[in-house]
């Protein structure tokens, strides 16, 4: 299935068909404002600023399923991101990414890319093992393990990479350039 067949909810509660983004490269991320990985917003914004005019869209989906690190309403979260990190990319309604209430977009993302790429280095492997252990919603194979899991989607709506929360979004820069 192409992701462009799905729709999502904007932070203002309107249905947004992803078909409006067909032909673009997408970087889709589940985020949280109170997470140790929240500073990744800087790299996400850098990628957006650098490649948006060439066809990159960053889609930000706040998620409160991991340590309740995305508290607040959608507009509060948006104000935090635009105020602190100066984000300009689209931020959508807060969602669930795992479990019976998982948003269909993330269900499809997980189906297309059922595992994070292997993390390198003992420190990173240990961090991911700890994250997996404390993640109470990561119960099924393919589930998202924590905030800031990153999915890179090509122009036809297929996932080409899934990066672990601990991975720097800039690791995707070369792939983004190739897809554009």
**Is 176 among the domain residues?**
no
**Is 138 among the domain residues?**
yes
Higher pLDDT, 94 or 119: 94
CATH number of the domain to which 82 belongs: 3.40.30.10
In this structure, of 9-23, 31-45, 115-129, 132-146, the range with the lowest mean pLDDT score is 115-129
Return the pLDDT at 116: 81
Total domains in the fold of the chain: 1
Whether 178 sits among the annotated catalytic residues: the reply is no
Predicted model pTM: 0.93
Query: What domain range is 71 assigned to?
Result: 3-167
**Is 146 among the domain residues?**
yes
Catalytic residue among 35, 63, 81, 138: 35
CA 155 → CA 71, 151, 170, 171, distances in Å?
Answer: 33, 13, 19, 19
**Is 107 among the domain residues?**
yes
**Is 178 among the domain residues?**
no
């Amino acid at each position: 299935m192409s992701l462009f067949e799905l729709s999502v909810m904007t932070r203002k509660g309107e249905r947004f068909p992803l078909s409006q983004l067909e032909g673009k490269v997408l970087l889709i991320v589940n985020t949280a404002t109170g997470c140790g990985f929240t500073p990744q917003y800087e790299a996400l914004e850098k990628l957006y600023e650098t490649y948006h005019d060439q066809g990159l869209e960053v889609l930000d989906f706040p998620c409160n399923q991991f340590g309740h690190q995305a508290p607040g309403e959608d507009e509060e979260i948006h104000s935090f991101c635009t105020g602190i990190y100066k984000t300009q990319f689209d931020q959508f309604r807060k969602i669930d990414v795992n479990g019976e209430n998982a948003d269909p977009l993330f269900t499809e993302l997980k189906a297309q890319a059922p595992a994070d790429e292997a993390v390198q280095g003992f420190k990173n492997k240990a961090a991911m093992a700890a994250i997996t252990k404390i993640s109470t919603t990561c119960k099924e194979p393919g589930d998202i393990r924590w905030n800031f899991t990153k999915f890179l989607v090509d122009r036809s709506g297929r996932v080409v990479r899934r990066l672990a929360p601990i991975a720097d979004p800039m690791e995707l820069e070369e792939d983004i350039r190739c897809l554009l």
